[in-house]
Structure 1
Amino acid sequence: MHLTAPANRRTGVRDTDGMAVASFVLGLLGLLVLNVFLGPTAIALASVALWRGTRRRGRAWLGLALGVADLLVLVAFMQADHTVSWSF
């Protein structure tokens, strides 16, 4: 039982690092398409990664910032078009 604990700990850190990278990628992609879905997802993944102590804190913070930027872009386009959604 003692041998499985370090393996689980390494897997947990790897999972949080993956969440940090995924939040960055989804936040970046959300600036172009589906920002109403990808923005909150990037924010949630970055928050969980930071809370769990990821080693990739910079990417998690960038993912969080990009997720917020996704929502701000959505609000800006909604205000400009006076609609609920926007398109190219």
Structure 2
Amino acid sequence: MSTATNTHGTAEPARPARSHADGMAVASFILGLLGTLVLNIVLGPCALVLGTLALTRGTNRRGRALLGIALGAADLLLLAALTAADGTLSWHIG
């Protein structure tokens, strides 16, 4: 376990970098956006999980994490609507 020195000169455990949480927020947004076009059965849940993890880990990109969660939910709703209309898990335009 790594340690860091605080302002009082004592060692304390290093905090996890928020850059990982920021990366998760951006990945959540991108996967949610891509999921509206392709593979929404896979990318939608991934966007939901990554967005939630980013928020719980204290991301600085809260808006992107929330958008990723919203887009992930929209992916699954889109899949449900298209499946109900067509009767299959695959869909096409035209």
Q: Counterparts of 1:75 and 1:34 in 2: how far apart (Å)?
A: 13
Query: 1:22-80 deviations in whole A, cap 9, x for unaligned?
Result: 00000000000000000000000000000111000000000000000000000010000
Aligned to 1:27: 32
Q: Please, which runs of 5 or more residues in structure 1 have no aligned partner? A: none
> Structure 1 runs of 4+ off > 3 angstroms?
3-6
Aligned to 1:82: 87
The one-letter code sitting in structure 2 at the alignment partner of 1:77 is: L
Size of the alignment, in residue pairs?
86
Q: Which has the larger radius of gyration?
A: 2
Note the 1:2-17 alignment, pairs <5 A.
2=4, 8-9=14-15, 12-17=17-22
Does the residue aligned with 2:59 lie in a helix, a strand or coil?
coil
More strand by share: 2
Instruction: With the length of structure 2 as denominator, give the TM-score of the two structures.
Output: 0.82
Instruction: With the length of structure 1 as denominator, give the TM-score of the two structures.
Output: 0.87
Identity percentage of aligned residues: 58
Greater relative contact order (Cα < 8 A, sep 6+): 1
Q: Counterparts of 2:23 and 2:12 in 1: how far apart (Å)?
A: 20
Aligned to 2:8: none
**What is the root-mean-square deviation in Å for CA atoms of aligned residues?**
1.9
Q: Please, which runs of 5 or more residues in structure 2 have no aligned partner? A: 6-10
> 2:71 matched to 1:66?
yes
